[in-house]
Chain A
Amino acid sequence: MDHIVKIKKGLDIQLQGAPAPRISEAPSSSLYAIIPDNFMGLTPKIIVKPGDKVLAGTPILHDKSHIDMTVVSPVSGEIVAIERGERRKVMRIIIKPDVNQDALSFGQPSLDSMSGDEVKALLLKSGTFAFITQRPYDIVANPDTTPRDIFVTAFDSAPLAPDYTFILKDEMQHFETGLKALSKLTTGKVYVGVSSKQPVEVKNGTAVIFDGPHPAGNVGVQINHIAPVNKGETVWTMNALDLLFIGRLFDKGCVDFSRTVAVTGSEINQPHYIRSRVGASIDSITHGLVKPAEYERRYISGNVLTGVKTDTDGYLGAIHSQITVIPEGNECNEFLGWASLNPRKYSTSHSYFSWLMGKKKQYAIDARIRGGERAIIMSDEYDRVFPMDIYPEYLIKAIIAFDIDKMESLGIYEIAPEDFALCEFVDTSKLELQKIVRNGLDRLMKEMN
């Protein structure tokens, strides 16, 4: 560990409801769900039907263009429903778990003697490959490519995010096994982005220490500072908590999709960590933890910046290790709010008086947008929270105009929607930047392939 990267631009939004370092067991969820939308860029072909019995590790769906890439069941049980939305798009596959859990065996893989292709085949078969994403396009990695490097982020700097050091400390063995498996998949290096505040010991990879505010934990920012993606190159990225699934597969010989989830947010009593499983219902995790209240609440699978809005009858997203509950705020009608002198109205700009409260003050921010959509007026607003060698405003404009040459030259291949989350938070013009970027990446991918 010699290399320290200091990130200066960015923002740590101080919110109420950070998780205390304490783990409790969730009551077992009565239903589990697989949400194909969690796996960006994957076109699901469902290979089970209601009534089928599955084991943990039994394939539920595969990608249309890569038949060997599967998403598997996190539990053993019975398929009870396949829920479809508009144009028969599959929204969720609901699984009712057995009382006694059973997992499909993948033998006793010995990582040391396996070749890269064998590792890849096993990951694809076990459904763990779908947790690897790639740049460009921020989609599930294409197994036909060999990545230049693989980047693993071993911390999350988003508001109220789980402390990876705390979660990983009992599973360091699986983490290292996972890194070792990844190193077989690339000819380059396996970089691990480590936080200076929550250090993680890394043996089977190249650790790079990052110091600074969010988005230092975003893998895109880390790539930009370690070895940026150029046109024509592909790198794979992964989250350290998802890497545990790969590590456990090799260590145990079967899939184990259990997850330690941080239950956070201003609407949670005693926020802390809950041991649950991928796809568990939100209610099974947050039950009894949400403060009683009259007003509406927003349940988010993930963090407040990039998470997915869900509901008590929703399910934990496959890629999320955090649930955030905040007030919806739709019953507030603030009179002349633009003239407010209230220091409790949070703003990063000094035009509101929240700076009087100091930097440590924690806020309970609700889900209101607090303003109308406008053309981009203020300059330097995005740049201040965008620590990459990219001009975010110009890139956004190029994406809106869908000028492919411009997008390429301004660095579209290096970014993901999550990198624009803070820009979207501070934006005076209230533009839906992450949506713009996601749509832009999807369209670009269609044009290029």
Chain B
Amino acid sequence: MKALKNYIDKIKPHFEPGGKLSMFQSVFEGFESFLFVPNTTSHSGVHIHDSIDSKRTMTVVIVALLPALLFGMYNVGYQHYLSIGQLAQTSFWSIFLFGFLAVLPKIVVSYVVGLGIEFTAAQIRHHEIQEGFLVSGLLIPMIVPVDTPLWMIAVATAFAVIFAKEVFGGTGMNIFNVALVTRAFLFFAYPSKMSGDEVFIRTSDTFSLGAGNVVEGFSGATPLGQAATHSGGLLQLTDTLGSPLSLSDMFFGLIPGSIGETSTLAILIGAAILLFTGIASWRVMLSVFAGGIVMSLICNWFANPAIYPAAQLSPLTHICLGGFAFAAVFMATDPVTGARTNTGKYIFGFLVGVLAILIRVFNSGYPEGAMLAVLLMNAFAPLIDYFVVEANIRRRLKRAKNLTK
């Protein structure tokens, strides 16, 4: 480690203003502080600091995402071999490898495009490189269908990082969740590639691995897609081969869907990590689930299932399906774009849950409402906080007025 540190100290002058590589100063400093914690000591104020910094915070979020990501990779392979009828004779590791190879290019593209823009923006502003995109860059491949073309991910990521983040001032300044803006951009720019029966299961081979033809009776519709297009009679959710799905299938997540969103169990493991470390707010998480449950009960009781088939789904089914749990745990809890006051968090989270189910049930054009619900509430979060803080201000004014009486 000493040799590495000495080497870094040796090449450092080239990157400082006036050096021949000074145009890469931010990038250099980014890597330097990545390798070695800066040993600058405090100049003003407190003389000691807590060990936590934003690198650690983002690392914890990435660790929390890993269960869902790894399960997502396995599920991509599982759904593929199921659809070509070769599941029984394929080993666990082959299934995982298929999914891994299918997902990895998406992760690489998202990071290369996003971090490239971040590095450039940091250099233009002469700022340190900020870590926010490390999380967004992993979220993006997890919330898209597996058959999304890579160039689309590249375009959408670039759009989101530039127009949802950098123009507002970078990490900590954005109004909308960057990963969700990417998803929304894809959804509205290339709707045919973002929904329907074709995109959630890879039926072709990946790097010539797992070639085969789909079995008869195959349907690639996600459970929520089935609910949205269902008409008349009792709704029975099925897997790709037409066998009925139980609640536990949906909970464990061997169902079609966006890459990282299918397993409620894996997401809950991530939630446990985030809550235990205190990185994410339990207030938001809890109230998203509460909002979702309340709204789906209301739909159960009052909505006409003949017109709105998704209204038949029980609250638990709603939570286990689609991106609801993923949005509750990883999207709504983004502290930058969500509500920042504690009271505000309850309101914010509850409304995210309500809106997600509302959109699912009453708008069959959008089978999944969680993404739009979070984005919509991102826009309202400052307003919620405004009223919470205003209450404090009014209390202070009242106190002063009582005094002058």
List A residues at the B interface (Cβ < 8 Å).
13, 15, 228, 230-233, 298, 300, 304-307, 309, 324, 326, 328-340, 345-352, 354, 365-380, 383, 389-391, 393-394, 409-411, 417, 421, 424-430, 432-435
- Residues B400 and A231 in contact, CB atoms below 8 Å apart: yes
Interfacial residues of chain B within 32-76, with CB under 8 A of chain A in the complex? 33-57, 59-60
Are B54 and A434 in contact, with the CB atoms below 8 A?
no
Q: Which of B78-86, B202-210, B271-279, B289-297 contacts the other chain? A: B271-279
Offer 23 A-B interface pairs, CB within 8 angstroms, sorted by A.
A300-B47, A304-B48, A328-B41, A330-B41, A337-B36, A348-B50, A348-B52, A350-B276, A351-B60, A352-B52, A368-B37, A369-B49, A370-B53, A371-B56, A374-B171, A377-B57, A379-B281, A379-B338, A391-B341, A409-B397, A424-B45, A428-B57, A430-B49
The reply to whether A337 and B400 contact each other, CB–CB distance below 8 Å, is: no
Chain B interface size, under 10 / 10 to 19 / 20 to 34 / 35 or more: 35 or more
Q: Are A371 and B342 in contact (CB under 8 A)?
A: no
CB distance from B345 to the nearest CB of A (A): 8
Flag whether B132 is at the interface (Cβ < 8 A): yes
Q: Is the CB of B39 within 8 A of A331?
A: yes
7 further interface pairs, Cβ-Cβ under 8 Å (given A336-B35, A351-B52): A305-B48, A330-B39, A331-B39, A368-B37, A375-B169, A377-B132, A377-B336
Which single member of B1, B51, B342 contacts A383 (CB below 8 Å)?
B342
With both beta carbons as reference points, the residue of chain A lying nearest to B4 in the complex is identified as A335
Distance A392 CA – B355 CA, assembled complex (angstroms):
31
Asked if B126 lies at the interface with its beta carbon under 8 angstroms from chain A, I say no
Check B196 for interface membership: any CB of A closer than 8 A: no
Residues of A with C-beta under 8 A to B389: 391, 394, 410
- With A and B bound together, what is the CA distance between A426 and B120 in angstroms? 30
B256 to chain A, nearest CB (A): 34
Contact (Cβ within 8 A) B47 A304 = yes
Residue in A304, A368, A378, A430 whose beta carbon sits within 8 Å of that of B39 in the complex: A368
5 shortest A-B CB distances, which residue pairs? A371-B53, A375-B172, A337-B37, A338-B55, A434-B45
Q: Is B57 touching A304 in the complex (CB atoms < 8 A)? A: no
Contacts A339-B59, A349-B278: A374 and B130 contacting too (C-beta < 8 A)?
yes
Which B residues touch A428, using CB under 8 A? 50, 52-54, 56-57
Determine if A346 and B50 form an interchain contact, defined as CB atoms under 8 angstroms apart.
yes
Given the known A-B contacts A300-B47, A305-B47, A338-B59, are A372 and B53 also in contact in the complex, defined by CB atoms under 8 Å?
Answer: yes
A370 B50 Cβ-Cβ under 8 A = yes
**Roughly how many angstroms separate A366 CA and B54 CA in the complex, as a whole number?**
19
B45 contact set on A, CB distance < 8 A: 417, 421, 424, 432-435
Residues of B within 8 A of A (CB): 1, 4-5, 33-57, 59-60, 128, 130, 132, 169-173, 276-279, 281, 335-336, 338-342, 345, 389, 392-393, 395-397, 399-400, 403
Q: Is the CB of A409 within 8 A of B51?
A: no
Q: Which listed residue (B4, B47, B277) contacts A350, Cβ 8 A?
A: B277
Q: How far is the CA of A22 from the CA of B41 in the complex (A)?
A: 32
- B residues less than 8 Å from A389 (CB atoms): 392, 395
Chain A residues with CB under 8 A of B397: 409
Choose one: A307, A335, A369, A376; the contact of B38 (CB below 8 Å). A369
Within the complex, the shortest CB–CB distance from A188 to chain B, in Å, comes to 12
A390 x B392 contact (CB < 8 A) = yes
Bound-complex Cα distance A335 to B345 (A): 37
- Residues of the A chain whose Cβ atoms lie less than 8 Å from the Cβ of B33: 372
Docked CA distance A187–B128 (Å) = 54
Chain B residues within 8 Å of A417, by CB:
45
Residues of chain B within 8 A of A376, CB atoms compared: 172
Question: A251 → chain B, closest Cβ, in Å?
Answer: 36
B48 touches A378 (CB 8 A): no
Q: Is the CB of B277 within 8 A of A335?
A: no
Task: Tell whether, in the assembled complex, residue B50 and residue A309 are in contact, meaning their CB atoms are under 8 Å apart.
Answer: no
- Are B393 and A307 within 8 A (Cβ)? no
Contact of A378 among B38, B44, B335, B395 (CB under 8 A): B335
CA distance A340 to B56 in the complex (A): 9
Report the separation of the CA atoms of residues A194 and B336 in the bound assembly, to the nearest whole angstrom: 39
Among B1, B52, B59, B341, which residue has the most Cβ atoms of chain A within 10 A?
B52
- What is the bound-complex CA distance between A15 and B47, given in angstroms? 13
Contact B281 A365 (CB under 8 A): no
